[in-house]
Amino acid sequence: MLILVQIPCRNEEATIGRVVREIPRRIEGADEVRVLVVDDGSADRSGQEAREAGADYVVRFAGRRGLARAFDAGIDACLRLGADVIVNLDADGQYRGEDVALLALPIILGEAEVVVGDRGIAGDPGYPALKKGLQVAGSWTVRRLSGTAIADATSGFRAYSREAAQRLHLVSEFTYTLESLIQAGKDRLRVVSVPVSTRPTPRPSRLFSSTREYVSKSASTLVRIYAMYEPLKVFSLIGGTIFGAGFLIGLWFLYYYLSGGGKGHVQILILAAVLLIIGFQVGVMGLLADLIGGIRKLIGDLLFRVKRLEQDLAEKRPPAGTDPS
């Protein structure tokens, strides 16, 4: 069994070497542990530092593509290299390399297909109150949308079985953490959490410039992904609300009309008719989107089969853009 630890990084020359060196090269139940670093167009020596620290492979982009694309490229490279278990680890040193074994173990034992490292934010008294509240609220929302029981939905420390990784089809350009969990839940993969330890990072997050930006982008990502997987529920809720408002306004006009005061309130009738029509149309859009969603599931299954075939054929040779150390 081959475990591949992938590390997306950008301008992390100060920490990437330590992160690579901390990764255990022997894990019980695994025949081999290798390290792959995805250099997302770094302007510093991140790639060189990773190779000098012992990284087996380095995939380098000429320019920045973003965390989600770097993660996706790393997953694809790991699969082509024949990985049975893929562990994703941040390059900033927040997580401890020895905990890689904790995430890989449930997959090795066949007890899970996706494992998420739980940082224990909810019970951490030293974590800022505002960020803690946002993390707890966000994780609760993701649990409801995905049908999983993950306590730390934004944790980037994760492990995937080969099949779970092959089923990942990312759409978001912002981050993979939320979307991949919702996908895993909708695909009915077994997702579990394991507690992991963390340490302070020497720099602020580069994924977003402010808490407001993070909340805004995360919320839009959740809405977009959930609407893609559950379009009928989303459009039915919106359409039903609009239709219900039109119906109530229509009853209001009917009251005036039957009481002899309908004259002069025609605008109420017009508004009710417009809302009823819009609500009905939104409901029809939801039905069409649900039918398209069925086609999307078939395409997803086809992509899974194509990925598995291509990666199984290519696992004996390094993927394009891979630089073995």
What does the pLDDT look like over 126-142, one tens digit per residue?
666 766 677 777 777 77
Among residues 145, 147, 191, the alpha carbon closest in space to that of 168 is found at 191
The residues with which 195 forms a beta bridge, in sequence order, are 118
Ranges assigned E (strand) in 54-124: 57-60, 85-88, 114-118
Within this chain, do residues 75 and 175 fall inside the same structural domain, yes or no? yes
The verdict on pTM exceeding 0.95 is no
Among the candidates 184, 206, 227, a domain finishes at 227
* Average pLDDT value for the chain: 82
Burial class from Cβ neighbours inside 10 Å (0-12, 13-18, 19+) for residue 101 reads buried
Q: Is the pLDDT of residue 317 over 60?
A: no
Query: pLDDT-derived band of residue 107, with 50, 70 and 90 as boundaries?
Result: very high
Name the amino acid, one letter, at 92: D
Half-sphere exposure of 322 (CA within 13 A, CB side): 23
CB-based burial label for 40 (10 Å; 0-12, 13-18, 19+): buried
Q: Are 112 and 191 in contact (CB under 8 A)?
A: yes
Shared-domain flag, residues 222 and 237: no
Question: Is residue 144 scored above 80 in pLDDT?
Answer: no
**End-to-end alpha-carbon separation of the chain, Å?**
21
pLDDT, one tens digit per residue, over 70-106 is 898 899 899 888 899 999 999 988 899 999 999 999 9
pLDDT of residue 316: 57
128 and 93 in one domain?
Answer: yes
Q: Which of 56-65, 139-148, 209-218 has the lowest mean pLDDT?
A: 209-218
pLDDT at 207: 56
Confidence (pLDDT) at 281 = 92
Look up tokens 């069925």; give the residue. 294
DSSP category for residue 95:
B
pLDDT tens, residue by residue, 155-213: 889 999 998 998 888 776 667 787 788 888 888 899 999 999 888 765 555 555 566 76
* Cα 83 from Cα 31, distance rounded (Å): 11
Domain shared by 239 and 120, yes or no: no
Q: Give the model's pLDDT for residue 261.
A: 61
Task: Give a yes or no: residue 118 inside a domain.
Answer: yes
Mean pLDDT of the region 239-263 = 83
List, in sequence order, every residue forming a beta bridge with 237; answer none if it has no partner.
none
248 and 290 part of one domain: yes
Supply the range of the domain harboring residue 253. Answer: 231-303
